[in-house]
Structure 1
Amino acid sequence: MGKTTLANQVYQELKEQFECWAFISVSRSPNMMNILRTILSEVSGQDYSMTEAGSVQILISKINDFLLDKRYFVVVDDIWDVDTWDIIKCAFPATSSTSRIITTTRINNVAHSCCSSFNGRIYNIRALDMVHSRQLFHTRLFKSDEDCPSYLQEISEQILKKCDGLPLAIIAISGLLANTERTENMWNQVKDSIGRALERNTSVEGMMKILSLSYFDLPAYLKTCLLYLSIYQEDSTIEKEDLIRRWIAEGFIHREGRYTAYELGERCFNELLNRGLIQPEETNEYGIVKSCRVHDTILDFIISKSTEENFVTLLGVPILTIGNQSNVVRRLCLQGVEEGNSTILAAGLVLSHVRSFTMVRGLLEIPSLEEFRHLRVLNLKECSELKDHHLENIVRLFQLRYLNLEGTYISKLPEQIGRLGCLEVLDLRMTSVLELPASIVNLRKLMHLLVNNDVKFPDGIAKMQALETLEGVRAYIQPFDFLCGLGQLKNLRNLVDLEFYCHTEEHNKAIVSSLCKLGTHNLRSLTIEVGRSLLHQDSLCLTTLEDLSIRFLAFPQVPTWVGSLRNLQRLRLIVEGLKQDDLCTLGALPSLLVLYLDGTPESNGKLRINVVTRSVLADYWALECCG
């Protein structure tokens, strides 16, 4: 019906009128500690990792104390039972008559309980009328209502009547028709395939019929990518980059011709978006989708198909036991398993054929990695109980391609990590690792290395010629060999979070030289935090660069070398004392599509902007100027 969409629209439009705000999804299997920690993090602005507490009651007290004298706005989305609401509501002080709470639920007695707690009112969301149904349908298929061909108008009306004003049904059907030949005969076939399912029952059963049509219309490679989403929990935010890397590691997507595997993965991601099977969640400042979500009803469908085809074995919550699945497991996902139950749940399963293992909501009992002899993908992200000793046998997983340890408390990697010759992705962000083992440079197939920016690299980085993404480099703590070797990474496409504050002239020259070399190889994206020494570079050669983001430092003028970036498409820059000449420099960039310019104009505050310059006409301008 669009409950979450409506609540989120109101939230996005009004939240900044309040002192603090939060949007939290509860779902059918709520983890109360995680929910309360997220609320505390969002309203207070603290990092999630700093919100740990000993009990639910302590977290409630912390949230209540923080909000006590503040005007707040909170959305609590997708509540399934009164008991869950009875706990969450205790976190919100009722002393402020100007604060607001919005809840969404599909259950009447939950809605009444929410309203009685704070003297609220129930809004029963209505189905779309035919005018708005038609608007949604045509917007997704054509540019406007007027662009619908006359020979398709009658059949469109008939299809919309079957959808009965359900937004999710309209989106799913329009996604299916977007990939169907635009003939009356083909659209009639789709209409007849729907049958009378939605006319008989406008709830889950009817939607499953619609989703089945969408699913069986997918090409085989997209079906596989879609089924993989069953490993994610309800209401999860799914990062696009990580999802695509996992698809590649699983072997779903391969390089073809001049296109990299990642570029083909992006096509798959965008196709699922266009078909309405996943929903955009977060976009960056350039409007590019960075993460997605799967609607609850669609996730239920994906899980049922995944279980039916023994694609993924899910254990935990929601309860899917081994009784209805094959004992031979290919992909294992433990979701929400309570303390000490992981070994019991895994009993009777044949783990030697497991290719992919994912743990959700940090279990207290980590299965021995020795059992997973053919593992390709190991995701232990935010597994809070993971310790260094759990990784002792990881070097025996010779087929491992993907290893995610983000958000765990490990402090070091095994010294022989270099034995994992097939490893392609290693994510160590938000861990306690401060130094990488010397053997890591032997990972000759590693394409994506993501670390915190306080991690020290060993000598020999130049050996890692497969690297395409490197995230988290604080230049001044690195050995001189690393600064020089960085420029020899001929396949490096993305250099993210490079902190460039070098204390010696020698180190400064080394990093500038390496950047220039990267800029003539394959470097496409650079996110950098720089010292003022970079401003004075006359010829920083970055001819291949398409995306440049310079953070935190405000330049007194646009650096001279920026004018030489002939292939630059996206630029983020801070300039204090912005002058007309600076705009002329930027306007002369021939490939520039997106400009995010933050800063203060020069003293007279008058600037002239010619929208049509030698650059490509901008799709997006963001000028944040004071004065």
Structure 2
Amino acid sequence: MAEQIVRLVIDKLIQLLITTEENLSRDAREGVSFIRDELQSIRSFLRDADAKAAADGETTNDSVKTWVNQVRDAAFYIEDVIDEYLLRITRRHQDPGFIRFFHKIIRLAKRMRSQDGIVSKVDRMKKLVRDILERRKRYVLSPIDQQGGDNGERTLLRHDPRVASLVIGEDEVVGIDSARKELTDLLVGGEPRREVISVVGMGGLGKTTLAKKVYDSQTVMDHFDCYAWFSVSQSYKEEDLLRTVVKKFCDSRKDPYPEGIDTMDEESLIRKSGEYLQQKRYVVVFDDVWREDFWGAIEHALPGNKGGRIMITTRNQDVADFCKKSCFVHVHHLQPLPPEKAWELFCRKAFQFELEGKCPPELEDMSREIVKKCEGLPLAIVCIGGLLSRKDKVVDEWRKLSNSLSSELESNPHLTSLTRILSLSYYHLPYHLKSCVLYFGIFPEDYSINCVRLIRLWIAEGFVEFKKGKTLEEVGKEYLTELNHRSLVQVSEAYIDKKARSCRVHDLWREVLLKKEFELTSKPTTRTRRLSIDSSPSDALGSIRESQIRSVFAFNQEEWPESFLNTLRGNFKLLKVLDFMDAPINQLPKYVGDLYLLTYLSLRNTKVKLLPNSIGNLQNLETLDLKQSLVYEIPTKIKKLVKLRHLLVRHLRKLGLKNLKREYGHAICASIEYEVLDLQQSISIPPESIWFLHSKGSPEKLPSWISKLQ
């Protein structure tokens, strides 16, 4: 996450150099350029720190963590300095004629003092960056490729929390009969060709357990001439993987190992594996695969004759898709346990040694509430049920655990395996996705967010990086798709064409994200950036009064004190995101126009009727969401919003655009969402390529061309 913050700061430094050239002295410009260049080098080390965290998980060296925290705090300070300076420049340009003239008269008098102010801050920023570079040298923090971790090799975790999945007894397995039969049939049936069966799902869903039960079945053992199981995880070297697989194939038939196998290089191992399996029907399981290019490392070592079967378990859909380039692939998306199976598993664990495995009536309501929080995740049910089996069977004890589940996940040693397995998905995210997934912690428990809204928020926050030939919205969609493929984000609602409409995260995964966010922001020096209000706004203001707040969200509010809106002007002057969706407000104060850095403003489903003329001052605004509000007229000042990308309105009757280039027509239509549309007048002939037409509301009549559709 620190790498993402540094990237944003570098972009802002470039913006500062471009937009304020005439206002900065030569020394200040040189200082800013120095900071930008040094941060670029620091950024490369942060990428290595992220890679090391992925390899080591929670065992990352404390000195590395300390250094990363210092980088993040310095980046926050630099961002604040830049934003405050840009805010001052923007305000000067926004002043009306007389005030602007007055400022021009006194500007020369104040120029030296203001230059001294920005120069001193630039000097402090330079010192911060120099100190960070010195600390890196002092702690001997070198890139991973200088620490012996090249060619894909990774440091092993001290303890693999998945080991228990390999030895689970048959009586402890619930709800896998259908999936077990399907996978068994895929292994022993089908064409006599090489096929890959991929089991995909989020961590803790039981992929390893299911695959092991299928692999160990007598039906599978009898069908194949040789077999091998390999736990890949994050830690493997291609030569070691190939060598181990060949040895396990030999062990399954009690054959001697090929001569010299321990000294063979990768090419020799591939050739030897192919020779050994040439006339054999084999099955091999690669458990817990993370890297998308894994298939490229082993495909040539596994021949395609005699009906060979390769089973892969992974959290990442893209791992399964990568195999399709040279092999027939079956993808089995493992689903959470249905409610009754989840209840059965919970009772087996919580009451396994007493009460004949049955829940006493007085604990049933509380127990079902706990099971509901697990959302069908077998590992969570087993861990929490096992913890409760050690507690007194009284309502107060169980209620205490239910109410404090978040802190229990963080501190209770009996839940360590659950949090570690879930955390692995975070550690192995690319750096550009970590901020995106942490963003889900802003939203309340069990909250589904519209995918388009989420992507626009990511863009407003600066999480989405520019890619040549693609819009930011297209790149943001790729980010969300990747998080879904990695089994981190669930589609909660889909359109008729199966494209995602809304998404959410598993509640326990959200708890892990909140824990990670807390680790990043719990230090006294950390500057709070985002305020999510799920209680009284007054209570929130009582605990936080910082000008560094960049984003404000409101959820589940029944009333909204006017004092909060008044606070925005003075305390939150650097706001970038103001999301009042569903908030009980009926007006927007005129000084909202003073929030010059605002990029995202949502009044969706509020009772706001009028927009102040000062909204024309928001020249950085990219998204203005007025859908389902009572706003019936937009001020003419909106024409000043030169960066506006998305205008979402309810009753769009007339829209005038001057000097619009033909090639921008589709982009304009895609950027404006409206709810009133006359299909008969707007589209006089049936569209040639229409696939489906979705109409929501109460149409007076359907267009006459509807009957002509084929």
Relative contact order, higher structure (CA 8 A, sep 6+): 2
- TM-score, normalisation: structure 1: 0.47
- TM-score, normalisation: structure 2: 0.42
Return the structure number with greater helix share. 2
Which of 1 and 2 has greater Rg? Answer: 2
